[in-house]
Every structure is written in structure tokens, then in C-alpha cells.
Homo-oligomer: A and B are copies of this chain.
Amino acid sequence: MTELADRTTGPSQTPPTTAGPSLAAGSPAVDVAALGELLLGKWADTRRASRALAGLPELHKTEGLTHTEHRKRAFGQLKILVDHGAVHRAFPRSVGGMDEHGGNVAGFQELVIADPSLQIKAGVQWGLFGSAVSHLGTGEHHKKWLPGIMSLEIPGCFAMTETGHGSDVASIATTAIYDPGTEEFVVHTPFRAAWKDYIGNAATDGLGAVVFAQLITRGVNHGVHAFYMDLRDPGTREFLPGIGGEDDGVKGGLNGIDNGRLHFTHVRIPRLNLLNRYGNVDADGSYSSPIASPGRRFFTMLGTLVQGRVSLDGAAVTASKLALKTAIQYATERRQFNASSATEEEVLLDYQRHQRRLFTRLATTYAAGFASEQLLQKFDDVFSGRNDTDEDRQDLETLAAALKPLSTWHALDTLQECREACGGAGFLIENRFASLRADLDVYATFEGDNTVLLQLVAKRLLADYAKEFRNVNFGVLARYVVGQATGVALHRTGLRGVAQFVADSGSVQKAALAIKDEASQRTLLTDRVQTMVAEVAVALKGAGKLPQQQGAALFNQHQNELIEAAQAHAELLQWEAFTEALGKVPDPGTKVVLTWLRDLFGLSLIEKNLAWYLMNGRLSMQRGRTVGEYINRLLIKIRPHALDLVDAFGFGPEHLRAEISTGAERISQDEARAYFRTQRSSGQAPVDEKILLARTAADAKRR
């Protein structure tokens, strides 16, 4: 249903300040249902089921609780998830799971609609704790612990992060030293910074834990491994001997989760509690691993963490969608200031600035959503074993590291902009922006700090670059641009080979002539990534041969550029995902509108980095000046379809749960306008003093 069709108060309500096209005959229309189906993606049914669950009142966040009350509620909600069989999809068939990874994450992503605390608490229990036992453990471990973990009989912790080390997992300081005398590992936190910290389920609920520690046997440190440990006595709920902890207390959000600290004083656990899929210690203390390289082994063991990043990426997109649906709905109803008529006020969404604030974020949300779906499919490919080479895993890691930062930052930005766009009403918890924003805040730094993740991406880009150009004269690199042929590879692996060397840079010059078309946008965006990478690569050439300290200093001098290159790369991936999705839209009207939205996304990226394009001769001055104008024209084109584009997200009132998304504002505005209309037509309205003064002045003149 279009917004216009929803208007019942007659032609006087047509936005007076919108110069652009209205939904007249012949103009494009969005097929909301079909678009909604496209947005739900490959696991549409699972998402629908999960949304049905997320619509249940008993799973909703109750606002205004203390963190203690909220924790209790969230714990109770996990049991409801268990009862609905909502959380076992990814577990092995041997223990009653379905070995279904993509669908599992798709369903998980939608839970943010109910309560982000519920989502993340479920993520801790099944996505991290259970998943570690599942992926890092072997048959006996599965049999012994997974049923209890799945049923929530054993609430547990994923005890990896320490106060002293978050992103740099390889440097955690907890040790697990093997004692062949008793066939036990002795787990120990040697100093305060080695305490496990920010661990979900640690403060109160956790009975068990997967503890990450440096595995030491026969005097050799084999690096970080995972160990199963009982934490608390299930009866008394007291810590077992040698184990202690602290409550992390109130947090900026996600207060339904009992994060806490754990410390271990020579805690002895059986040898067989080592989750030994990738590394084993025999009774005599001899170590063995199917992966000879300690570096590759570490990377493989940490590989399961990617699931968290994939999950957060999609959840962040879902939260952005919730916010935009509410803010755009409100903006089509709310009126403020009567600029164009003495009696009728403007609808907020007819203000240019309001359109800019909301539509650019709507476009990014679509792009992030399509990219998120690609990431999830890639994840499913790898975790199902269908395409599970080392290279696939690395591509997946890089893709997740690229997209998760952008989508989580975007969610925070969108929630805040929507909250401000709704003024005081946006600040009331009943409209949810502030609540969701507080809860999603930490998505930017947990499961991989966004800034650190983008550096991983940058390093991969540099590595790919170096591999490709090992034998190429660096002098000519400044001119190298992308070949369109890499498109397919991009969509398969998520990573465009930064490789394609095209001597002919003609396509860039063409871009300067027409920035609006798809090919030009692609060329501009791709060229920027590759040129930035090439420039840093040239600057860093030889850094590896310098002494470590000087090499690091050189690298640090280009850290900012590196991160910007990684971000540009991630934005390109989002743009490509959006563009690929356009190919899947059969309805011509929908396709036209979505193409405007994709153009808005592409041009917003170009506008954001306009200085770069100008300085590097990719756009002429005159062309540069048209970017802003063209964006303004796109806003006007998109305006009549804005409601359709957020309705396609497919949320019901049970998902939105925002007072101002219910149409209450329209009723209220209509009531007010009806009052004034009646008053005017009755002749009973008081005369405005200003009008009276004008009349008096006119009378005086006449006399």
C-alpha cells in the first residue's frame, strides 16, 4: 500500500513543498509484498518463525527494570526459547540438532526485535558456550555436555576475554599447565589483568564454562586452547574451590545479561576436559594436533567466533530497520511549522533536511541488509562444509570483519538520527530508539572491536595486493583500476580480488562524465579502494625488511589511511550487494525505486569522499558540484515511496512496539486540524492580534 493511498483527507494534504513526482498514473510503484520477500532472503521461513516468536509479549523487553530484575526476566526467556525449539538448529544431529548453520543465525538475528539482551544472552549460551563445545570438542564432549547446554540445564560462559586482553586473544595470560602425575590441567590466572572479564553468565547464572587458556605441557606453550570447566555447584550455586569472580554490574545496555569476571587459583580439571578437536594432550603429557602450524591452529580454533560477527551484522541491520520504519511513519504524519500556507503545517518528511537525514540512512540500511544476506550465505557455505577450504574460511573472516563494523556503527547512527528526528517523543522509552541504541552500543566493540576488525581487513587487502603485484613495477600502480570481470569472484567470496590490473584507465574518465549510472558508480568506488590500497602498499614497501620497531612505526604512520581503505572496501561490498539484489527484482516499478535508492547510497558514498575524487582527478570540479544536486533530486523521487520502502521490512505492531508508529500521531493531528477548521467555519475563532493591527492600520489609512 502506498502512502498516498493511505491518505484520506483529500488533496489539500498533498505535500505542498515537494516539487518531485507524486504517485500519478504511470509513475513507478513498489510491490511491497514481493520486496518484503526479497529482503527476508534465503532463510525467509526461519526468519518469519523467529519473528513470530519475537512478537510474543513474554519475550519482550520490559523497560525500567533494575538490572537484577532484567537478568531474571532474560534467563526465564531463554527457557521459552528452548521450549519453542528455537535455538538448537546449529547443533550436531547426534545430540538432536539439525546441523543447520545459516538458518540458525538468520533466526537468531531476528531475536533482537524482542530484546537485545535476550538475543545476546542466547548468543552467549548457544552461540558461544555451546558452539565452543560443539566445534572445539569431540564426540564424548558432545554427549556429555551438549544436551544440558541445549536444554539450559547447564547455563554457561564463554570465558575468553580477559581484563588485560580483548581483541588480542593470542596474548591472554590464563594458563592451563598439564600435570601428568594426576592427569589434570591446572588452570590459573597469574595476575589481575588475566581475570576473565565481561563474560556473559559469569556474574550469577553460569554453572559451566569454556575457559580459554595457554596450554602448557612439558614446558612448552602450545598456545590458546579451550577447556571445559564446572564453575558453580548446581545446588548451592556457589563457586567451586579455586574459582572466584565479580559482577560487572550495570552496563550501558544489555542489562538482561549478567556479565562478570572470573579468576582461577590453581583450579584442577580432568585432562579430558580439554576440548581436543584441534589439539590433544595424552596422559603422559605429549601434545599432538591435526594442524601442525600453531598460527593456523589458533586461527582455526578462533574461527568459530566468526559466527558472532555474522550474527551481530544482521541484528544491527534489523535494528536499523525497526528505527527507520517508526521514524519514517511518524514523519509522514507529524506536522510542524506552516511555511507554505497560513493554516496547514508541513509534514516533517516533506522537509528536505528530514529527507536527507532519513533517506540516506534508509539507503544504507538496504545496502547493509543485502550485504548481510551475502555474508550469511557465505557463512552457511563454509559451516555446512560445502565450501570449507582454508581460503573460504579466510574470505569469510575478512568479509565478516568488513561488514560487521559498518552495520553496527550504522545502527547506532540510525537509531540516534531517528530518535532526534522524532524530537522529545523519540527520547521516550515507549518509542524504543533510546533503548535499542543503548543495547546495541556494545555491538561496536564486542565480538571484535570495529577498529581492530577494519585493520584485519586492511592487512588482507595489503596481502592480496602484495601477492598479485610481486613482480610488477610499482611506478605504474597509481593508474591501476578494477576490471569488471572480478564481479563474479566478489560475489562468491565476498572479497574482490584487489588484483585485476587494467592498463587502460579509460573507465575512470568516463565516470567523470556521468556519475549517475551504475557502471560509473562502480568504477569510482572500486578505483578508490584500489588506489588507496596501492598507495599505502607503496608507502609500506620494505617495511617488512626494517627492524621490527621501525617497521611498526612506519605502519603506524599509515594506520588511519589503512582503516579508511578497509572502510571504503566494505562500502564497495555493500554497494555491490545492493546492485546484485537489483537483478533479482522482477517488478519494474520496484526496480526503478530501488535503483534510485541504490544510487542514493552510491552517490552518498561519493559525496562523503568527494575531496578524494577531486584531488585524485577522478571527478572534475564541475562534476563534483552536481553530486549534491543529484542527491537532492533523488530525495524528491524517493519521497512518495518512503513508506512502502519501510513497510517492506514486514514488521507488525508486535515488533515495532513504538507508540508513534501506530498512527496515533495522524489521529492526533487530524483532531487538531478538524478543531481549527470547525472554529474557522463557525466564525467563532478569536481574531489574531496581528491581523487586527493590520486591519486597524488599513482603516487609519483609508480615513
Contact = CB atoms under 8 A, between A and B. Distances in A.
Given A250-B429, A252-B427, A352 B557 contact: yes
Contacts of A219: 686-687
A249 interface: yes
A163 B335 CA distance: 11
A560 B356 contact: yes
A457 B353 CA distance: 15
Nearest to A438: B438
A155 interface: no
A423 interface: yes
B350 A556 contact: yes
Contacts of A434: 251-253, 438, 441
Interface in A317-370: 336-342, 345-346, 350-353, 356
A681 interface: no
Contact of A161 (B221, B416, B424, B433): B424
A406 B334 CA distance: 25
A476 interface: no
Interface residues of A, number: 114
Interface in A526-585: 548-549, 551-553, 555-560, 563
Contacts of A156: none
Contacts of A611: 607, 610-611, 614, 624
Interface string A666-695: 001101100100000000001111101100
Contacts of A353: 451, 559-560, 563
Contacts of A193: 668-669, 671-672
Interface in A4-51: 16-19
A165 to B, nearest CB: 7
Report copies per complex: 2
A77 interface: no
A648 interface: no
B16 A192 contact: no
A428 interface: yes
A248 B428 contact: yes
A197 interface: yes
B446 A424 contact: yes
Interface stretch (A62-70, A112-120, A394-402): A62-70
Nearest to A623: B615
Contacts of A423: 166-167, 445, 449
Interface string A185-207: 00000111110011000000000
Contacts of A338: 171
A309 interface: no
A441 B427 contact: yes
A675 B595 CA distance: 60
Given A164-B668, A552-B17, A675 B427 contact: no
Contact of A192 (B223, B624, B671): B671
Contact of A427 (B168, B445, B559, B686): B445
A466 interface: no
A420 interface: yes
B446 A420 contact: no
A491 B356 CA distance: 34
A611 B356 CA distance: 19
A607 B668 CA distance: 45
A238 interface: no
A428 to B, nearest CB: 6
A558 B351 CA distance: 10
Given A64-B250, A220-B687, A251-B428, A340 B419 contact: no
A553 B19 contact: yes
A560 B628 CA distance: 10
Contact of A337 (B168, B294, B687): B168
Interface in A401-424: 412, 416, 419-420, 423-424
Contacts of A416: 412, 441
A222 interface: yes
Contacts of A429: 249-252
A199 B338 CA distance: 24
A158 to B, nearest CB: 14
A406 to B, nearest CB: 14
Nearest to A690: B294
Contacts of A425: 163
A668 to B, nearest CB: 5
Contact of A420 (B192, B251, B450, B617): B450
A632 B220 contact: no
B341 A548 contact: yes
A103 interface: no
A566 to B, nearest CB: 11
B553 A16 contact: yes
A444 interface: yes
Given A220-B692, A548-B341, A252 B424 contact: no
A442 interface: yes
Nearest to A549: B340
Contacts of A65: 66
A407 to B, nearest CB: 15
Interface string A594-622: 00000000000001001100110100010
Nearest to A64: B250
A686 B221 CA distance: 6
A435 interface: yes
A430 interface: yes
A553 B340 contact: yes
Contacts of A686: 214, 216, 219-221
21 contacts: A63-B250, A164-B672, A165-B336, A167-B337, A168-B337, A168-B345, A171-B338, A191-B671, A191-B675, A193-B669, A194-B672, A198-B427, A214-B686, A221-B686, A223-B688, A249-B429, A339-B555, A351-B556, A352-B556, A614-B621, A615-B625
Given A64-B67, A171-B337, 11 more contacts: A16-B552, A16-B553, A18-B553, A19-B553, A63-B250, A171-B338, A295-B690, A339-B555, A353-B563, A427-B441, A611-B611
Interface of A: 16-19, 63-67, 161, 163-168, 171, 173, 190-194, 197-198, 214, 216, 219-223, 248-253, 294-295, 336-342, 345-346, 350-353, 356, 412, 416, 419-420, 423-430, 433-435, 437-438, 441-442, 444-446, 449-451, 548-549, 551-553, 555-560, 563, 607, 610-611, 614-615, 617, 621, 624-625, 628, 632, 668-669, 671-672, 675, 686-690, 692-693
Q: Which 10 residue pairs of A and B lie closest in terms of their CB atoms, listed nearest first?
A: A252-B434, A340-B552, A610-B611, A339-B552, A250-B429, A64-B250, A221-B686, A352-B559, A611-B611, A17-B556
